[in-house]
Chain A
Amino acid sequence: KQEVTQIPAALSVPEGENLVLNCSFTDSAIYNLQWFRQDPGKGLTSLLLIQSSQREQTSGRLNASLDKSSGRSTLYIAASQPGDSATYLCAVGGGGADGLTFGKGTHLIIQP
């Protein structure tokens, strides 16, 4: 059974810092990995999607990497802003309508 772990569980940093969120998974037989953002009481917004054959994806100030063999992914946020404050969720997909397996998330606070 796939298990996803996210470290740290919570993080508070001053505005402008670069930061890294970590995600690990136990079964490397994944189809893809997706990073989401969730604001309090809201649904999930997809940030980046990495296929199993890819090493990284970038969108603006966000960069996500994937090392499937070691079961790890990182989300790098450059020049953090208060608007980046949210919970960030890592999820791995097995394909074939298996759905996604989620970590518990990293609760991020960017201090103005």
Chain B
Amino acid sequence: ETGVTQTPRHLVMGMTNKKSLKCEQHLGHNAMYWYKQSAKKPLELMFVYNFKEQTENNSVPSRFSPECPNSSHLFLHLHTLQPEDSALYLCASSQEPNPYYGYTFGSGTRLTVV
């Protein structure tokens, strides 16, 4: 495996379910990110983990809970979501503090909340 891998690719969940999104990077990067992409809106940065420490939380509702057990893995735990949370969730990684080679994105998880 190379690059940034996200699983599952598609997820349908009810509002009372609990599920988790997984992201794994094989690039040796030390920072990982969760982004949300909704229709008609720019990609929104949700969470940043730098050296496994969360450094950014852009006012994301508590029903989204990130976890970064090591610099290669990132999870997004989901519970009691709302239909408006349906979106494409993208994971990215970079080498900080100077991302000379830019950011690498995964293929995303398409989430549908019913």
Closest to A100 in B: B103
A99 engages B48 (CB within 8 Å): yes
**Residues 8-63 (chain B) with a chain A CB within 8 angstroms:** 31, 33, 35, 40-43, 45, 48, 50, 55-56
Report chain B residues within 8 Å CB of A32: 99-100, 102
Given that A36-B105, A97-B48, A99-B45 are known contacts, is A51 also in contact with B100, CB under 8 Å in the complex? yes
Given that A43-B106, A99-B33, A99-B56 are known contacts, is A89 also in contact with B43, CB under 8 Å in the complex? yes
Classify chain B's interface size. 20 to 34
Asked if A14 is an interface residue, CB under 8 A from chain B, the answer is no
Asked if A83 is an interface residue, CB under 8 A from chain B, the answer is no
**Among candidates B6, B35, B55, B104, residue contacting A97 with C-beta atoms closer than 8 Å:** B55
**Among candidates B33, B101, B106, residue contacting A49 with C-beta atoms closer than 8 Å:** B101
Asked if B97 is an interface residue, CB under 8 A from chain A, the answer is yes
Q: Whole-angstrom distance from the CB of B72 to the nearest CB of chain A?
A: 16
B108 engages A42 (CB within 8 Å): yes
**Among candidates A4, A45, A51, residue contacting B42 with C-beta atoms closer than 8 Å:** A4
0/1 interface trace, chain A 94-105, chain B, CB 8 Å (1 if under): 011111111111
Closest to A38 in B: B37
Asked if A41 is an interface residue, CB under 8 A from chain B, the answer is yes
**Residues 82-114 (chain B) with a chain A CB within 8 angstroms:** 88, 90, 92, 94, 96-108, 110
Q: Whole-angstrom distance from the CB of A25 to the nearest CB of chain B?
A: 12
Asked if A44 is an interface residue, CB under 8 A from chain B, the answer is yes
Q: Which positions in B face A, CB cutoff 8 Å?
A: 6, 31, 33, 35, 40-43, 45, 48, 50, 55-56, 88, 90, 92, 94, 96-108, 110
- Name the 7 nearest CB pairs between A and B, nearest first: A43-B107, A97-B50, A44-B105, A49-B102, A102-B43, A97-B96, A99-B45
Ordered by A's residue number, 25 sampled pairs between the chains whose C-beta atoms are within 8 Å are: A32-B99, A32-B102, A36-B105, A41-B88, A41-B110, A42-B108, A43-B106, A43-B108, A44-B105, A46-B103, A46-B105, A91-B43, A93-B103, A97-B31, A97-B56, A97-B94, A97-B97, A98-B56, A99-B48, A99-B56, A100-B45, A100-B103, A101-B45, A103-B42, A104-B42
